[in-house]
A and B are shown apart, each in its own frame.
Chain A
Amino acid sequence: AQSVTQLGSHVSVSEGALVLLRCNYSSSVPPYLFWYVQYPNQGLQLLLKYTSAATLVKGINGFEAEFKKSETSFHLTKPSAHMSDAAEYFCAVTFNFGNEKLTFGTGTRLTIIP
């Protein structure tokens, strides 16, 4: 079965520091990978997606992620954290592009230290 694992349920970084949120997937076929952000009491917003085109994907709010098949990873990064980045981040996977029944990771809560 398809799955994603997010390492670290809580990550804290200082404002202006690098943000790195880890996601590894389990698959025997090419996956389609997504990062979503959830602000308190709000829905999920798509940050970026990998759909087998470029391996380095740029998303909104300065985030990007790199698909590394050899490492089965799709880590999310941002060069400089902003206070407004504080939120819950979910990595998600599907193997059936066009039927976007996503399987989510357990989420990483990002805290920004002033």
Chain B
Amino acid sequence: QVRLVESGGGLVKPGGSLRLSCAAPGFSISDYYMTWIRQAPGKGLELVAYISDRGLYTDYADSVKGRFTISRDNAKNSVHLQMDSLRAEDTAIYYCAKSVVGTPGYLDSWGQGTLVSVSS
């Protein structure tokens, strides 16, 4: 059973920054693409960014491109999402999820999420 644990959410003012982290205690994420997904309050799901297993490939939703950066540290078994120039519309629960080997594809394990609120 893969367990993913997100942290780093909180309340931030518009224009501010936050760094989210995702840990996988007891499971090595080094062979897997990892993805961040968000869900605004009462809304649907939006894929934010993914990163390949070795970190060579990343891609982003247009809504966050140029503002968010996904990274990973396989030695520390963690994935991160650096969020800069935050806007009110970035308010959401942010989930970390694991993809299958070799592709960002479908998401077979999810964390419990961390809430990011952007408000003055």
Question: Do A and B originate from a single complex?
Answer: no
